[in-house]
Chains A and B, each alone.
Chain A
Amino acid sequence: MIWLTYRQFRVSALVLLGGIVAVMAVLAVTGPQVADLSRSAGQGFLDAFGADRAKTTIFYASTALLYVLPAVVGIFWGAPMVSRELEAGTSRLVWTQSITRTRWLATKLGVAGAGAAALGSFALVLTWWCGPMDDAVGKGYASNGLYGQPRLWPSQFGARGTVPIAMAVLALVIGVALGLVIRRAVPAMAATLVLVVAVQVVMPMFVQSHLLPRKHLIAKITQDNLAEVRAVGDVAPGATDVVIAQLGISAGRPDAWIVSNRTLDPSGKVMDKYPAWVTDCAPPPGAVTPPEQVQGCFTRLADEGYRQRVEYFPASRFWPLQLAETGVLLAMAGLVTGFCFWRIRRDLT
């Protein structure tokens, strides 16, 4: 059975695994160069990295590849696994040999699942490759590119660590399950694409920040910790009708992931509207506000009892959060797999 599985997977497996191994080789070669660059460039490392077009291309391509990979696995390995057998009628050949359908599916899922996990483990290589950038972000070196974002951020999180491994496995079994339900390869492939992308959107947007308890910080807003100002109104120099919509302070190290950053009024409630005088704390660029007036604004905020509440994940939560999300994805994959085994034992013609 393993031979048959290998024989049927051979071409697509060689293409995908071969492609990934090639990209891994590129990372293996360029990884030490990135590390060298970080040592030689020091504080300017992220800018130096950004100026290296070959390396930024490798970074963006690898990240994109890891986001596309689960859908590819689900579409080309998962969805056709059963539906193509049903379409071609070969299910009548292979399911009437001496082994049961359950064993047939178990072997197929085992081999393809191992392949999917192997593909997803590329994320571990990328995590290693990006190590110098992640260190630089932790030290607060600024940059505009995605490589300058903390790896805890949802934009990076799903392409690092162990999450892509679980995502690839989940996508595979989603494809198999949809193939079993729809029974036609092409519609099953289309449905797999939709569902896998949906999971990839929902996980970072709605699930990732709830997987583990957040760290809470309640602090006074000071001129030093003020990190973010969102203002509404005319921001032209000298404008007077600017209203502050949101203030944010920094928490933890620069590579922490701040999930919520809200100002509390003296009664401890989250504020929707700031008093007009708060504009003095963050004068519009070009406005001539005396420094004493700015300082006075911060003092008044503190004296009147305004506090900032920050909910965040420190950088040290990266791996626990990775494992938690991996666990959730694998649990979902387990449920879908259970459905597949239940379904394949029933009539399929």
Chain B
Amino acid sequence: MSAVLAATGLGKKYGRTWALSDCSLDVPAGRVVGLVGPNGAGKSTFINLAVGMLTPSAGDIEVLGARPTGRDAQRSKVGFVGQDTPTYAGLSVADHLRLGASLNPQWDGALAEQRIAGLGLDPTKRAGRLSGGQRAQLALTLGIAKRPELLLLDEPVASLDPLARREFLQDLMEAVADQELSVVLSSHLVSDVQRACDYLVVLVDSRVQVAGDIDHLLATHHRLTGPRRDAASLPGDQQVISASHTDRQSTYLVRTERPILDPAWEVSSLTLEDLVLAYMRGAPSVTERPPMEVLR
């Protein structure tokens, strides 16, 4: 698994406050990665560091094996769709495509025009008169027609209505399937990630709480409900993500690679939202416990 994006001890300071500190994160190639976290977790700062809009105050970040603030050749490999999908209000759709063509050596004009036609956008229309969804699509077209190896999207759909949001993500997925690019998409909404991504990174307070293939994460996280008992009594291979107790009953959210054998538990699966929320509530306390003995 080669990393398209590798951060080690990455930090960014604004004045005296750290927007991101000591963040270490590897993003595998060929995946559509959802970067999820609460507002202020450092998602946007991370993506801006990855695309070279910001320079790190501490640590290192490598994108496709090189520093992001590098030369033109490196920059042409990374596509970016910024927050609120900025476009030039005074330039027409066709002007934007020409902008892309003149600023990117690997520009795929045919692809761009095909996408604009497919979206039904009038090339002579000024970007300022497009709807929010259309503007986002235009920004995405610029990002994709650049033919990058990695596409970074910073909350691209945050300001869109649900329908436009769904169309945008649908469109993104199709483009990804056609072009085999790696994608990192940040969002504070789990539903966006569930729709578009196959790999999840949960970032809370600059720390990666969990990262992994979404299907695998869902298969290895379980909700256990049963008679009240102490977390220490759980087998050591079951990592407790969250726990809640009533007088007689305990509910645990655990992560384990092994099957749950204890018949006292009622085991249910999690939605992605449950999983993300559990990790967002706080860093899980990992304590060493002996593995459960298998009794014969």
Interface residues of A (CB under 8 A from B): 1-4, 7-8, 88-100, 103, 346-349
Are B98 and A3 in contact, with the CB atoms below 8 A? yes
**Which of B75-83, B178-186, B195-203 makes up part of the contact surface?**
B75-83
B66-105, CB under 8 A of A: which get 1 and which 0?
0000011001101110111011110100010011101111
Q: How far is the CA of A349 from the CA of B86 in the complex (A)?
A: 13
Shortest 3 CB-CB distances between A and B: which pairs? A92-B82, A97-B103, A89-B86
Q: A7-B99, A92-B86, A103-B72 are in contact. List 14 more A-B contacts (CB 8 A).
A: A2-B102, A89-B86, A90-B87, A92-B80, A92-B82, A93-B82, A93-B86, A96-B51, A96-B82, A97-B75, A97-B104, A97-B146, A100-B72, A346-B55
Residue of B whose beta carbon sits closest to that of A89 = B86
Interface residues of B (CB under 8 A from A): 48, 51-55, 71-72, 75-76, 78-80, 82-84, 86-89, 91, 95, 98-100, 102-106, 139, 142, 146
Which residues of the other chain, B, contact A1 by a CB distance below 8 angstroms? Answer: 102-103
Given contacts A4-B99, A103-B72, contact A89 B83 (CB under 8 A): yes
Q: How far is the CA of A96 from the CA of B154 in the complex (A)?
A: 13
Residue from the list B53, B87, B88, B106 in contact with A349, Cβ < 8 A? B53
Are A95 and B86 in contact, with the CB atoms below 8 A? no
Given contacts A4-B99, A7-B95, A349-B48, contact A99 B53 (CB under 8 A): no
Which residues of the other chain, B, contact A91 by a CB distance below 8 angstroms? Answer: 86
Which residues of the other chain, B, contact A347 by a CB distance below 8 angstroms? Answer: 53-55
Which residues of the other chain, A, contact B72 by a CB distance below 8 angstroms? Answer: 98-100, 103
Q: How far is the CA of A98 from the CA of B102 in the complex (A)?
A: 10
Q: How far is the CA of A151 from the CA of B129 in the complex (A)?
A: 53
Which residues of the other chain, A, contact B139 by a CB distance below 8 angstroms? Answer: 93
Residue of B whose beta carbon sits closest to that of A5 = B102
Residue of A whose beta carbon sits closest to that of B84 = A89
Smallest beta-carbon distance A283→chain B, Å? 71
Which residues of the other chain, B, contact A89 by a CB distance below 8 angstroms? Answer: 82-84, 86
Q: How far is the CA of A346 from the CA of B146 in the complex (A)?
A: 24
Residue of A whose beta carbon sits closest to that of B86 = A89
Q: How far is the CA of A1 from the CA of B106 in the complex (A)?
A: 15
Q: How far is the CA of A198 from the CA of B146 in the complex (A)?
A: 45
Which residues of the other chain, B, contact A92 by a CB distance below 8 angstroms? Answer: 53, 80, 82-83, 86
Which residues of the other chain, A, contact B55 by a CB distance below 8 angstroms? Answer: 346-347
Q: List 25 A–B pairs whose Cβ atoms lie within 8 Å, in order of A's numbering.
A: A1-B102, A1-B103, A4-B99, A4-B102, A7-B98, A7-B99, A88-B86, A89-B82, A90-B86, A92-B82, A92-B83, A93-B82, A93-B87, A93-B88, A95-B53, A96-B51, A96-B52, A96-B80, A96-B82, A97-B99, A98-B105, A99-B75, A100-B72, A346-B55, A347-B55
Q: How far is the CA of A349 from the CA of B48 in the complex (A)?
A: 10
Q: How far is the CA of A89 from the CA of B51 in the complex (A)?
A: 15
Residue from the list B71, B75, B83, B102 in contact with A3, Cβ < 8 A? B102
Smallest beta-carbon distance B93→chain A, Å? 13
Smallest beta-carbon distance B118→chain A, Å? 21
Q: How far is the CA of A89 from the CA of B139 in the complex (A)?
A: 12
Are B103 and A98 in contact, with the CB atoms below 8 A? yes
Residue from the list A7, A95, A97, A346 in contact with B91, Cβ < 8 A? A7
Are A349 and B54 in contact, with the CB atoms below 8 A? yes
Smallest beta-carbon distance A54→chain B, Å? 39
Residue of A whose beta carbon sits closest to that of B142 = A93
Smallest beta-carbon distance B136→chain A, Å? 12
